[in-house]
Amino acid sequence: MKNSSDSTVIDVPPTAATSKKKAVVSTTPRQAGGGVKRGLSIFDFILRLGALGAALGAAAAMGTSDETLPFFTQFFQFEASYDDLPTFQFFLIAMGIVGGYLVLSLPFSIVCIVRPGAVGIRLLLLILDTVVLTLATSAAAAAAAIVYLAHDGNSSTNWLAICDQFGDFCQKVSGAVIGAFIAALLMMFLILLSAFGIRNSH
């Protein structure tokens, strides 16, 4: 008990904000906490790359989902595309924004690896991650609701399933939704990582 009450006086290393020159010199004493923080930052960077890949994959799958049936009448050709459903258009735009944000956030993540004490950048990333997570989740969930309807239809409202006719279209769109959910899941982990990173900084 004596020990733990003594240890409340801690020699806190200078943060990057207070004195930048000293921070470069005194890297050795804070190796213990810095190693954990640097590990968290590297993991953050890898997760960000994974989420970026998932988001771009989802956007690509949705953007190329276009099926034309091999039969047609004189006046009409049967075609299904993401263009036909506003929810899928929203999905494509949202995934584009998510992917763009993730690309732009990569340099900040690298700064966190190089300078583990930068709490301000972590906080900024956490706030923006939360906003973009909400966007990715809503796009994925809205598209999932429509994909479910396309697969199973609904007898009460007389909405018939279209996946019997447009099988390839449905498969591609379903894949896009799964990709979006994976991206959202990875971004949830990113937020938790950022929170631990901020908590570890004191």
Binding site residues, a copy of itself, CB under 8 A = 1, 4-5, 8-14, 18-19, 22, 80, 84-87, 119, 123, 126-127, 130-131, 133-134, 137-146, 148-150, 154, 156-160, 162, 184, 188, 191-192, 194-196, 198-199, 201-202
CB of 101 to a copy of itself, least distance (A): 16
CB of 141 to a copy of itself, least distance (A): 4
Q: Note the residue count of the chain.
A: 202
CB-nearer residue toward a copy of itself: 59 or 149: 149
CB-nearer residue toward a copy of itself: 92 or 133: 133
CB of 9 to a copy of itself, least distance (A): 6
CB-nearer residue toward a copy of itself: 35 or 159: 159
CB-nearer residue toward a copy of itself: 60 or 123: 123
DSSP character string of 91-136? HHHHHHHHHHHHHHHHHHHHHHHH-TT-HHHHHHHHHHHHHHHHHH
Alpha-carbon distance of 20 to 22, in angstroms, equals: 6
Distances (CA, A) of 97 to 100, 134, 197, 200: 5, 12, 25, 30
Q: 146 burial class (0-12, 13-18, 19+ CB within 10 angstroms)?
A: middle
Q: Letter for the amino acid at 127? A: I
CB of 138 to a copy of itself, least distance (A): 4
Q: Can you read off the two tokens belonging to residue 160?
A: 């018939």
CB of 184 to a copy of itself, least distance (A): 7
